[in-house]
Amino acid sequence: MAIASPRVMQSPLQRNLNHHGTPNMISTLPLQEAQLEESLDKILLPPTDPNAEVTQITGYKLVYVDGACPRTYRVYKAHSMIGVIFQHLTHWSNAVDKIRYAESVDAAVGLDEFMTMTGYFTTATEQPPTEEELLDIEFDSLTSDEWERLKRYVPQEKDLVAA
């Protein structure tokens, strides 16, 4: 009686072969997770991070997020992120209106004016936000200095509310 070789007895799945009989390329989940975390780290970099791709324009900082066409930028004014703008091949646009702008500064100003007009911004001063205000800001838009302030922050008894 002939005995089949162990290789013949294995299924294509066990031998890691596809339906053409060639080896499959397997990407491990931890590797994919690491790549995702690395790309998210780049996307969430604050404008003060030395690895962030920052463009200074009059009154604003643009931080590149991702994309090729359109390229997406977070727009910062003073210490706050006000929204995003997009760089297309022929124009710029923002996330709040349907206007095509020739320059990035015009798209940022249009975004800023829209947000101010709608009452999204409540403070007109350029003072840094308090620690309590920092707690209400999205974490990805905090600067490293603001993170340090929050690490050291201890609420006062008058700020605590009994349950």
CA distances from 106 to 59, 82, 102, 118, 140 (A): 11, 14, 7, 18, 24
Asked if 12 and 19 count as a contact pair (C-beta separation under 8 A), the reply is yes
What pLDDT does 66 receive? 84
Which pLDDT value is given to residue 93?
Answer: 95
The position carrying tokens 């070789």 is 5
Query: What's this model's pTM, rounded to 2 decimal places?
Result: 0.50
CA distance 144 to 61: 15
**What's the pLDDT at 27?**
45
94 DSSP β-pair partners: 85
Tens-of-pLDDT digits for all 163 residues of the chain? Answer: 555 544 445 444 445 555 555 555 544 455 555 554 554 455 567 777 777 888 999 899 999 988 888 999 999 988 788 999 999 999 999 988 889 999 999 999 999 999 888 876 654 445 677 888 888 877 777 788 888 888 888 877 665 566 6
Are 95 and 111 in contact by the 8 Å Cβ rule? The answer is yes
With beta carbons less than 8 A apart as the criterion, state whether 80 and 74 touch. Answer: no
Task: List, edge to edge, every strand of the sheet that includes 71-77.
Answer: 54-57, 60-66, 71-77, 80-87, 92-94
